[in-house]
Amino acid sequence: MRILMLAHRIPYPPETGDKVRAFHIARHLARRHEVTLAFLVDDPNDLPGVEVLTAEIGQIEFAILWKPWGLVKGIASLASGGPATLPYFGSRKLRRRITRRLAGAAYDLIYVSSSSMAPYAATHTRIPVVMDFVDVDSDKWTQYSEKSRPPLAWLYRTEGMRLRRYEGQVARWARLCILATVAEEALLKSFAPWAATAVIPNGVDLARFVPVAERASQPTLIFTGAMDYFPNVDAVTHFCRDIYPAVRRVVPAARFLIVGLNPAPGVLRLAELPGVTVTGAVLDVRPYYQQAAVCVAPLRIARGVQNKVLQAMAMGLPVVATRRASEGIDARHDHEIVVEDDAEAFGLRVIDLLRSPGKRQTLGERGRAFVEQHHSWRACLARLDGLVRSVAGDNSHLRIGQA
């Protein structure tokens, strides 16, 4: 089967959430089918990944995305009544290359990763389309509005409403809509009940993220992720302001590692606090997990599966998370993960784990076992093969109006 897969960012290196999922799905499909992978590159530092993906996938099409021009197009779209997200990821060059590919060969399926890439497939719906929403992006913008002040609150709320309308339209012509969690599936169905849906959860590379033989004895906490991403910036700011001081009062030697690329100015300022380290981009996040005693995920804005949580659990690291950070993962509270929303309670659970090596070890071992059972990529993607074959073949039962 010949498949065109579209990704809104180059899925290599697979370190951030959107890239991790797209990379593993592309590689999985390429091992079974003839795949052309098309994507945008918005960071020149990622260009070496093109060679890696060519070796892994085979056929590649890409275009460079200049962020300032994307922002201009997005603002213009907002002003004219449309969403900003779609024109931001628009590229005439990539569109031409995709059109040329589709004209030059008979493709059986278009697999779209992220609603941002749906416009590239919208004019080619004679070919069956699988829309992997991953998460319902419109809801993230709505959450942003709840944590922001005017005029940003209005802009974010407007973007959420406009993008939601577009997601509903995509769900009408896509033959199948894939979500990362049951909660995301229910959210899409709440405003697009006509969508044909399936759930494919995120996985974790269990061969790469493995427990260390000896866990660090220092009271070190860790948070990982792209540190210019609003939910992550909000999470570490909230932790440092509302939780970490209480932890330090009881455990004065406690350290907090904030690990991830492109730290925003507000995140960089957190390094001025006692015990806080902001690393910026790192070649490999695993040595930092190995330094840590506890992983914290104090996210107040989140959708879907948090890869940072899965990775920490895979490495046998106990995790304290908010409900939103854990809702895409069916781990049991106080058995495989600790879940607290209240800042004071969150801090008390972190303190308890820092002072209890036995509890840390037990929770970490249970977390690893949970991930092995439910979130290996092999298990997560086992259902994908049947779905894409069904959509590319006799897909009448997946058409709109059929849930």
Tokens of 103: 């004209």
d(CA 113, CA 107): 17
pLDDT in tens, the chain (403 residues): 999 999 999 999 988 778 999 999 999 999 999 999 999 999 898 999 999 999 999 999 999 999 999 999 999 999 999 999 999 999 999 999 999 999 999 999 999 999 999 999 998 989 999 999 999 999 999 999 998 999 999 999 999 999 999 999 999 999 999 999 999 999 999 999 999 999 999 999 999 999 987 777 799 999 999 999 999 999 999 999 999 999 999 999 999 999 999 999 999 999 999 999 999 999 999 999 999 999 999 999 988 889 999 999 999 999 999 999 998 899 999 999 999 999 999 999 999 999 999 999 999 999 999 999 999 999 999 999 999 999 998 443 444 333 3
- Considering Cα of 148, then 154, then 158, then 161, what sign does the dihedral take? positive
- CB under 8 A, 24+ apart: contacts of 53-58: 53/10, 53/11, 53/12, 53/26, 56/26, 56/27, 56/30, 57/26, 57/27, 57/30, 58/30, 58/34
| Class level of CATH domain 220-375 | alpha beta
Question: Would you identify the CATH topology of the domain 2-200+381-398?
Answer: Rossmann fold (3.40.50)
Q: ∠ CA(82), CA(88), CA(93), 5° rounding? A: 120
Count of positions (residues) in the chain? 403
Pairing of strands 338-339, 319-321: parallel
**Mean of per-residue pLDDT scores for the chain:** 94
Which tens digit of pLDDT belongs to each residue from 105-131? 999 999 999 999 999 999 898 999 999
pTM listed for this prediction: 0.91
Question: What type of residue is 117?
Answer: M
In the chain, CATH 3.40.50.2000 sits at 2-200+381-398, 220-375
Name the phi and psi angles at 341, rounded to 5: -100, -35
Tokens of 157: 């709320």
Contact 120, 94 (CB under 8 A): yes
Task: Give the pLDDT score at 360.
Answer: 95
Q: Dump the DSSP string for 214-264.
A: S---S-EEEEES-TTSHHHHHHHHHHHHHTHHHHHHH-TT-EEEEE-SS--
Q: E-assigned strands of 65-124?
A: 109-113
Which tens digit of pLDDT belongs to each residue from 337-386? 999 999 999 999 999 999 999 999 999 999 999 999 999 999 999 999 99
Which tens digit of pLDDT belongs to each residue from 215-234? 777 999 999 999 999 999 99
User: How many other β-carbons are positioned within 10 Å of the β-carbon of residue 334?
Assistant: 11
